[in-house]
Amino acid sequence: MNKNRDWLIRKAELEDGCFVSVGGLVDAMEQAAETSSNVIPFKHAFARFLQLARRDRKLSMEQLAKKVDVDLVELLKIETDDQYTPTIRTVHQIAEFLKIPEKKLMALAGLLRVKDAQFQNAALKFAARSEPVEKLSQEEHSALEEYVKFLCER
């Protein structure tokens, strides 16, 4: 790297704290538009997965928020808003708590693109199979356990 002091100072003055960004929102928007139709069923599966996993542990949303050190509002958005994309940190925290491979959960949350048809089918099947009820039914419990097994084994 250039060690010339004058060169560095001259460059700093020319740069003058201006914007230097490359990439960014434009790309992100483009990608979001391309994948939005595929991502929503995934996000729905993520929302249902989180809801069932939470209820299976007999935790309120507030208790889960404390355990994973995530803002309660964000958990609420995840469970109720299919359009909402959680932050990488939140998914990381949830993955650690539920002991689910982080990348799989990120894909499910719409944070990573997945082309694996089997993964997509499993997510869709899970989302379709799990219906919200007050208490986990045996069916839900099985669906949840089966999906946890799928996520952990592959």
Partner 1 sequence: MRVPIQIVDWATREPVQAELFDGVTVEHFLETQNEWRPVVVEAAKKMVQSGSPQDIVPRHFHWDWTSKEADLRILAFSFIGISAGGNLQGLMKLENAGRSGRIAWQKGKPLTYVDYLETAPWNIKPLMQALGRSQKFAAVGTRLIEAAVRKSLDEGFKGRLALHSLTTSERFYLDVCGMTAVGRDPAKQNLLWCEFTPEQAERFLKEGAT
By CB under 8 A, tell whether 12 contacts partner 1: yes
Question: Total binding residues for partner 1 by CB under 8 A?
Answer: 38
Which residues, at least 6 apart from 85, have a Cβ–Cβ distance to it below 8 Å? 43, 109, 110, 111
- Shortest Cβ 136–partner 1 spacing (Å): 31
Among 72, 76, 112, 148, binds partner 1 (CB under 8 A): 112
By CB under 8 A, tell whether 113 contacts partner 1: yes
Nearest Cα to 148, choosing from 89, 85, 104? 104
By CB under 8 A, tell whether 115 contacts partner 1: no
Among 45, 64, 108, 111, binds partner 1 (CB under 8 A): 111
Query: Which lies closer to partner 1 via its Cβ, residue 2 or residue 138?
Result: 2
Site string for partner 1, 19-38 (x = CB under 8 A): xxxxxxxxxxxxx-------
Long-range contacts of 138-141 (CB under 8 A, 24+ apart): 140/52, 141/56
